[in-house]
């Protein structure tokens, strides 16, 4: 067995950071990424809360220390067999790998917003998602975004905390993303009114609350506590957003020129297949099941299989970074027999 | 005693430990889903009867939990079922309303 | 032929005689009671229909086809049809032939109604005639037919899958007694007639049997006990009949003429409803048909068990069963005797007392009223549910615009519910109030056509609304007319769709072929194994009051599996509720017919 190799499934922030750390520890990580570029969702994001750091900057830092790591793009794991003290893996490009440890860092998928039919994503012309907006910030053109929007509405919890959408978990990052994007929109369109419709604002991280205060104080973003239930289209193509202002106890309507849906995080559909290959388990929330959710989040119940990032649950980027480093250390200790 | 023409107004606060919750408890037994409400307001915003009457399932549940009368609101529901469909917690709101209409019989 | 006994009597006939008298009295009393329960007008109508030659003839034909030959069952399941008709028709023929024998050979005994049943005991064979031989042959033939049927029935009890039934009913105690006595009657009759055949004569079955028995039983001592056993089996069957599912035999013979007279359920428990309940043979066809039965726990909520609980008067279970049902109507579509499962349940719901009842009569329509003298002659009513599936309303409007139809969307901002959900919940009066309000509103526009895109609305608009001068039409029918008139060009795509029949549109309104024709113009089309009247409810139906979100999932998955089995690329439906429900779980695209047509229309 070539016992220096470590397979990392997923070339997003978690996989990249873990690979970087493992390289430093003297291992030979092999990254398998299914898309044509590394970086995962990060590569499609514009700026990151709460410091408004450009996503590209973080990506640069992550890839800078990767010399020496093998990266396979547009490649998937075809099958994986358990050996006596490791795994034999066949990749979709025909490469065979034998290694003693596997790190699953397969990340998340964004909820398909067209499944929340009542919001009219894909039906109405002025409805976009958080990811669409990031792409537009990053320079892509989007005909759905009007030149001078008078009012912009953000809908939180689209496909999160919603049994009907098949995901009852909170996606953690959407509240902050909505506030971030609201601020960015206000900077681009100072005359527009911005409205955030939320169920609960969950701003738990460092500087998050300050960010929220800024949005209120400096940018005048309006916050309405009520989940949007219906969206209809007026004759001029603008949208009529219906919700209940639950604090005022009154139904409200907003005529908006742009509706941004905060699509939530779901576990990647491929992850279940991966889990079957290593005979690991999927938890009741649809994500991978860790040894426990307090002390050994990075460990699976199978020897030599480790997790990092959003494959075990919704994570922010700082959390993912911390987990990736922890996983790298766990793997190092496992391979050195330091348990 | 000199009457100054004013006195202490009775507090409008609901005393959570003393309020009569018999109606809510009974409904809880018939439709346990009622406990899952997070008051997101989806039901009220989508309600067909709402624009005509101010009907709101969210308010209905909250008022029941605070021991208040809800009969006025109940009598506007058209049972169209939209609230059941939009509820993110999967509460069977129609059954809740029908059950409540029946319990009022016994009161 | 000569009679063996001058008295023409033996005590063994007593069990049968007692059972027969009991059943006749019970049924006579039952008929009088049900007639008394009917509203006066219905009673008149029924009695009149009995003496109207056309309906009387139809009654006889229907009773013959349904009760004896089981024609409907043959069509559904030939093996099951054969089993039932061999027993029912065979038995009927034995009774008829028995009477003929008595009339031919000893006409003065015809008054004793046990005589045709036990004829072979009471007579001894004389010289053989052709006529006698034919009669005896027929008697043996029908007895054999019944025995084959009984044999199949026993196999069915043990292995119901052979008959294509995945699940069947669990018989109650009285059902079991009835069942076992029924199984015993005919083998015992064969034994009794065989033991007697050297005296009374017989044919291809009884004579050889007699010969075999005589090889090792040299005397006639077995004769009387077997006749006793036969009579006792008959007696037991007749005694438990009113308290078991076998009550369906007399009840159905009464139900058919009443239905032919045009009677309907007017009371949740009495009269016609009572008769429907009694007519249920508990065959269990509705169990496999019921979409809820995908979950084992729900099997006891199928119509066959509703009927059983209604017979027993178990109020708690009646309420549970009534509230759970999706009202998809499939049990009614497959029912052999035409028990209206959904309607029976709605009636139970309607019979409840409520402390609070909504009142919609005071709704002020001025909020919605059209600006005076609106020019549009075509109205579009999208309904409540479509607000949650804007793809449908947007597509309908788009197609109408493409065809240049000058229409008005009357509930674009606010609207009233159509009343169907209240109706299915059994709140008839409140539903009527809403309907009157909607009628008032719609008539105020002075239009001549009303287009509906929701089949739930369509069903109630078509059946219950009074809109003189306004044609109520489903959007698909209207689009088909636009295409026929050349106002709309359709371009066929190469996507293959499977069409799911929504309950309210298919079984509810009988619309099956129109949507398929239209879909065939716009795309490829595949059929699911269960389609049209057999289509499986999506699980989202508003018909169910108590099924919660989690319990509906398995129903939806079962319905989707049926659609996947068609191997189509995508699913087409024509109901906002089906669309909403399927989209949640489907692994392939789900589109409303309006979306498909909009994409195809030029």
- The 10s digit of each residue's pLDDT in C140-170 is 999 999 999 999 999 988 888 888 888 888 8
CB contact under 8 A, C387 and B86: no
Residues C479 and C502 in one domain: no
Give the distance from CA C322 to its chain's centroid: 16
Q: Give the HSE-up count for residue C23: Cα atoms under 13 Å, Cβ half-sphere.
A: 23
Distance, CA of C45 to CA of A140 (rounded, Å): 76
Residue window 385-424, chain C: list those with CB within 8 Å of chain A.
Answer: 387-391, 394, 412
Please identify, among C434, C456, C483, the residue that sits at the C-terminal boundary of a domain.
C483
Alpha helical stretches, state H, C389-526: 390-402, 420-424, 428-444, 455-464, 475-484, 513-522
pLDDT of A120 over the 60 cut: yes
pLDDT of B70 over the 90 cut: no
CB contact under 8 A, B102 and C545: no
Residues C443 and C523 in one domain: no
- Given CB atoms, is A245 within the 8 Å cutoff of chain B? yes
Residue B90 has its nearest CB partner, among C416, C419, C550, at C550
The nearest alpha carbon in chain A to C391 belongs to A123
Residues of A with CB under 8 A from a CB of C: 115, 117-118, 120, 122-124, 163-166, 230-233
Confidence category of residue C372, pLDDT binned at 50, 70, 90: low
pLDDT of residue B105: 61
DSSP-derived 3-state class of residue C339: coil
Residues C174 and C284 in one domain: no
CB contact under 8 A, B51 and A230: no
Percentage with pLDDT > 70 across chain A:
99
The nearest alpha carbon in chain C to A239 belongs to C390
By the 8 A CB rule, do B78 and C417 touch?
yes
**Helical (H) or strand (E) element with C572:** strand C570-573
pLDDT of residue C332: 95
Please identify, among C218, C250, C282, the residue that sits at the C-terminal boundary of a domain.
C250
Q: How far B54 CA sits from the closest chain C CA (Å)?
A: 13
Mean local confidence (pLDDT), A93-105 = 94
Query: C207: which residues sit within 8 A by CB, 6+ positions away?
Result: C197, C201
**Helical (H) or strand (E) element with C408:** strand C407-409
Residues C468 and C540 in one domain: no
C7 in a structural domain = no
Distance, CA of A87 to CA of A31 (rounded, Å): 15
Would you state the CATH architecture of domain A110-265?
Answer: 3-Layer(bba) Sandwich (3.50)
Nearest Cα to A266, choosing from A117, A181, A166? Answer: A166
C299 in a structural domain = yes
DSSP-derived 3-state class of residue A30: strand
For the ranges A12-26, A319-333, B8-22, which has the lowest average pLDDT? B8-22
pLDDT of residue C77: 85
C258 in a structural domain = no
Distance, CA of C323 to CA of C316 (rounded, Å): 11
Mean local confidence (pLDDT), C414-443 = 94
Residues C386 and C345 in one domain: no
- Given CB atoms, is B45 within the 8 Å cutoff of chain C? no
- The 10s digit of each residue's pLDDT in C319-368 is 999 999 999 999 999 998 999 999 999 999 999 989 888 889 888 888 77
Q: What is the mean pLDDT of chain C?
A: 92
Confidence category of residue B72, pLDDT binned at 50, 70, 90: confident
Mean local confidence (pLDDT), C512-537 = 96
Distance, CA of A234 to CA of C479 (rounded, Å): 24
Q: Where are the domains of chain A?
A: 5-107+268-335, 110-265
Residues C494 and C475 in one domain: no
Name which CATH class applies to B22-106.
Answer: mainly alpha
For the ranges A127-131, C165-169, C310-314, C554-558, which has the lowest average pLDDT? C165-169
Query: C215: which residues sit within 8 A by CB, 6+ positions away?
Result: none
Bigger pLDDT: A13 or C197? A13
Tokens standing for residue C104: 């031919």
Residue B44 has its nearest CB partner, among A199, A200, A244, at A244
DSSP string, C247-299: GHHHHHHHHHHHHHTT----SSSSTHHHHHHHT-----HHHHH-GGGGSGGGG
Residues C399 and C509 in one domain: no
Query: C345: which residues sit within 8 A by CB, 6+ positions away?
Result: C306, C321, C322, C325, C327
Beta-bridge mates of residue A103 = A8, A306
**Helical (H) or strand (E) element with C33:** helix C14-37
Q: C427: which chain B residues are within 8 Å (Cβ-Cβ)?
A: 79
Q: How far A223 CA sits from the closest chain C CA (Å)?
A: 24
Residue B88 has its nearest CB partner, among A163, A244, A246, at A163
- The 10s digit of each residue's pLDDT in C71-120 is 988 888 899 899 999 999 999 999 999 999 899 888 888 888 899 999 88
What is the ipTM metric for this complex? 0.91
Percentage with pLDDT > 90 across chain C:
75
Domain count, chain C: 4
Q: C388: which chain A residues are within 8 Å (Cβ-Cβ)?
A: 117-118, 230
Distance, CA of C598 to CA of A11 (rounded, Å): 41
- Given CB atoms, is B94 within the 8 Å cutoff of chain C? yes
- Given CB atoms, is C96 within the 8 Å cutoff of chain A? no
Residue window 37-96, chain B: list those with CB within 8 Å of chain A.
Answer: 38-47, 50-51, 56, 58-59, 85-90
Residues C228 and C86 in one domain: yes
- The 10s digit of each residue's pLDDT in C528-559 is 999 999 999 999 999 999 998 989 999 999 99
Confidence category of residue A19, pLDDT binned at 50, 70, 90: very high
pLDDT of residue B107: 53
CB contact under 8 A, A163 and B42: no
Q: Where are the domains of chain B?
A: 22-106
DSSP-derived 3-state class of residue C233: helix
Give the distance from CA C490 to its chain's centroid: 39
Residue window 571-590, chain C: list those with CB within 8 Å of chain A.
Answer: 579-580, 583-585
Nearest Cα to C544, choosing from C396, C346, C408, C394? Answer: C346
CB contact under 8 A, C358 and B102: no
By the 8 A CB rule, do C570 and C496 touch?
yes
pLDDT of residue A190: 97
Residues C542 and C572 in one domain: yes
**Helical (H) or strand (E) element with A18:** helix A13-24
* CATH code given to domain A5-107+268-335: 3.50.50.60
The nearest alpha carbon in chain A to B63 belongs to A249
* Ramachandran area for residue C70 (φ above 0: left; ψ -120 to 50: alpha; else beta): left
Distance, CA of C248 to CA of C73 (rounded, Å): 15
Confidence category of residue C369, pLDDT binned at 50, 70, 90: low
CB contact under 8 A, C388 and A230: yes
Strands (E), chain A: 5-9, 28-32, 47-48, 53-54, 70-72, 77-83, 86-91, 96-99, 101-104, 108-110, 127-129, 151-158, 193-198, 222-225, 230-233, 239-245, 250-256, 258-263, 265-267, 305-307
Mean local confidence (pLDDT), A268-284 = 88
Residues C324 and C383 in one domain: no
Nearest Cα to C407, choosing from C370, C435, C439, C461? Answer: C370
Residues C143 and C185 in one domain: yes
pLDDT of residue C113: 82
Confidence category of residue C175, pLDDT binned at 50, 70, 90: very high
CB contact under 8 A, A123 and C391: yes
Percentage with pLDDT > 70 across chain B:
89
For the ranges A158-172, B30-44, C213-227, which has the lowest average pLDDT? C213-227
**Domain interval for residue C576:** 490-600
Confidence category of residue A261, pLDDT binned at 50, 70, 90: very high
Tokens standing for residue C525: 């089309």
């Amino acid at each position: 067995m070539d016992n220096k190799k470590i397979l990392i499934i997923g070339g997003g922030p978690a996989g990249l950071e873990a690979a970087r750390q493992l390289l430093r520890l003297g291992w030979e990580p092999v990254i398998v990424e299914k898309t044509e570029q590394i970086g995962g969702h990060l590569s499609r994001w514009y700026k990151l809360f709460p410091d408004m750091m450009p996503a590209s900057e973080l990506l640069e830092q992550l890839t800078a220390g990767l010399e020496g790591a093998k990266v396979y793009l547009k490649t998937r794991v075809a099958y994986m067999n358990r050996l006596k003290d490791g795994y034999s893996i066949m990749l979709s490009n025909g490469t065979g790998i034998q290694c003693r440890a596997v790190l699953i860092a397969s990340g998340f998928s964004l909820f398909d917003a067209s499944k929340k039919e009542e919001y009219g994503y894909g039906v109405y012309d002025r409805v976009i998602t958080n990811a669409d907006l990031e792409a537009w910030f990053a320079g892509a053109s989007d005909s759905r975004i009007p030149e001078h929007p008078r009012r912009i509405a953000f809908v939180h919890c689209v496909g999160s905390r919603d049994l009907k959408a098949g995901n009852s978990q909170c996606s953690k990052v959407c509240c902050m993303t909505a506030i971030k994007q609201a601020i960015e929109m206000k900077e681009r369109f100072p005359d527009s009114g911005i409205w955030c419709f939320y169920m609960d604002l969950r701003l738990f991280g460092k500087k998050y609350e300050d960010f929220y205060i800024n949005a209120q104080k400096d940018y005048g973003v309006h916050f309405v506590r009520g989940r949007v239930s219906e969206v209809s289209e007026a004759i001029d193509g603008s949208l009529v957003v219906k919700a209940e202002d639950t604090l005022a106890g009154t139904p409200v309507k907003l005529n908006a020129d742009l509706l941004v849906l905060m699509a939530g995080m779901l576990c990647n559909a491929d992850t279940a297949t991966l889990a079957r290959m290593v005979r690991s388990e999927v938890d009741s929330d649809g994500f991978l099941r860790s040894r426990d959710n307090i002390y050994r989040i990075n460990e699976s119940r199978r020897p030599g299989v480790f997790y990092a990032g959003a494959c075990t649950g919704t994570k922010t980027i700082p959390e993912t970074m911390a987990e990736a480093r922890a996983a790298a250390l766990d793997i190092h200790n496992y391979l050195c027999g330091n348990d | 005693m000199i009457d100054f023409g004013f006195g202490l107004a009775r507090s409008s606060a609901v005393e959570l430990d003393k309020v009569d919750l018999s109606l809510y408890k009974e409904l809880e037994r018939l439709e346990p889903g009622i406990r899952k409400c997070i008051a997101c307001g989806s039901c009220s915003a989508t309600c067909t009867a709402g624009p005509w009457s101010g009907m709101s399932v969210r308010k209905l549940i909250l008022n029941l939990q605070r021991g208040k009368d809800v009969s006025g609101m109940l009598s506007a529901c058209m049972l169209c079922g939209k609230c059941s469909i939009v509820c993110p917690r999967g509460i069977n709101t129609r059954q809740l309303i029908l059950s409540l209409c029946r319990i009022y019989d016994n009161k | 032929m000569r009679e063996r006994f001058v008295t023409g009597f033996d005590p063994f006939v007593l069990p049968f005689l007692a059972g027969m008298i009991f059943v006749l009295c019970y049924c006579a009393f039952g008929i009088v009671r049900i007639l008394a329960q009917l509203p006066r007008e219905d009673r008149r109508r029924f009695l009149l229909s009995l003496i109207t030659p056309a309906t009387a003839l139809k009654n006889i034909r229907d009773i013959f086809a349904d009760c004896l030959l089981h024609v409907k069952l043959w069509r559904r399941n030939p093996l099951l049809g054969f089993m039932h008709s061999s027993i029912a028709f065979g038995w009927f023929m034995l009774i008829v032939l028995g009477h003929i024998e008595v009339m031919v050979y000893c006409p003065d005994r015809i008054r004793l109604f046990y005589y045709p049943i036990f004829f072979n005991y009471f007579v001894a064979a004389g010289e053989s005639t052709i006529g006698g031989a034919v009669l005896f042959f027929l008697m043996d033939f029908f007895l054999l037919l019944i025995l084959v049927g009984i044999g199949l029935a026993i196999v069915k009890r043990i292995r119901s899958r052979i008959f294509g039934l995945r699940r069947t009913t669990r018989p109650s105690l009285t059902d079991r007694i009835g069942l076992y006595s029924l199984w015993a009657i005919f083998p015992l009759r064969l034994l009794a007639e065989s033991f007697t055949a050297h005296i009374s004569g017989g044919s291809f079955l009884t004579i050889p049997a007699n010969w075999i028995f005589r090889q090792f039983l040299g005397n006639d001592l077995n004769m009387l006990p077997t006749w006793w056993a036969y009579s006792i089996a008959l007696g037991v069957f007749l005694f438990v009949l009113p308290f078991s599912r076998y009550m369906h035999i007399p009840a159905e013979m009464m139900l058919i003429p009443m239905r032919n007279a045009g009677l309907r359920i007017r009371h949740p428990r009495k009269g016609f409803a009572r008769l429907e309940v009694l007519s249920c043979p508990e065959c269990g066809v509705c169990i496999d048909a019921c979409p809820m039965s995908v979950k084992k726990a729900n099997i006891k909520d199928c119509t066959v068990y509703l009927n059983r609980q209604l017979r027993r008067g178990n109020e708690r279970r009646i309420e549970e069963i009534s509230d759970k049902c999706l009202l998809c109507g499939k049990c009614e579509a497959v029912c052999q005797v035409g028990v209206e499962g959904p309607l029976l349940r709605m009636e139970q719901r309607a019979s409840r007392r409520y402390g609070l009842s909504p009142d919609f009569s005071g709704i002020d329509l001025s909020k919605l009223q059209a600006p005076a003298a609106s020019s549009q002659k075509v109205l579009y009513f999208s309904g409540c549910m479509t607000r949650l599936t804007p793809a449908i309303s947007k597509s309908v409007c788009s197609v109408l615009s493409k065809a240049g139809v000058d229409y008005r969307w009357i509930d674009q901002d606010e609207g009233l519910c159509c009343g169907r959900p209240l109706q299915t919940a059994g709140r008839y009066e409140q539903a009527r109030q809403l309907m009157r309000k909607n009628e008032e509103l719609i008539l105020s526009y002075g239009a001549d056509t009303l287009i509906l895109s929701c089949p739930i609305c369509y069903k109630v608009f078509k059946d219950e609304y009074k809109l003189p001068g306004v044609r109520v039409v489903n959007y698909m029918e209207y689009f088909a007319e636009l295409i026929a008139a050349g106002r709309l060009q359709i371009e066929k795509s190469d996507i293959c769709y499977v069409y799911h029949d929504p309950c309210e549109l298919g079984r509810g309104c009988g619309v099956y072929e129109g949507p398929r024709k239209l879909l065939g113009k716009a795309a490829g089309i595949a059929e699911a194994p269960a389609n049209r009247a057999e289509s499986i409810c999506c699980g989202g139906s508003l018909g169910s009051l108590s099924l919660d979100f989690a319990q509906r999932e398995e129903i939806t998955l079962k319905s989707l599996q049926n659609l996947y089995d068609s191997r189509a690329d995508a699913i087409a439906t024509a109901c906002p509720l089906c669309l909403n429900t399927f989209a949640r779980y489907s692994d392939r695209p789900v589109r409303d017919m309006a979306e498909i047509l909009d994409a195809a229309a030029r």
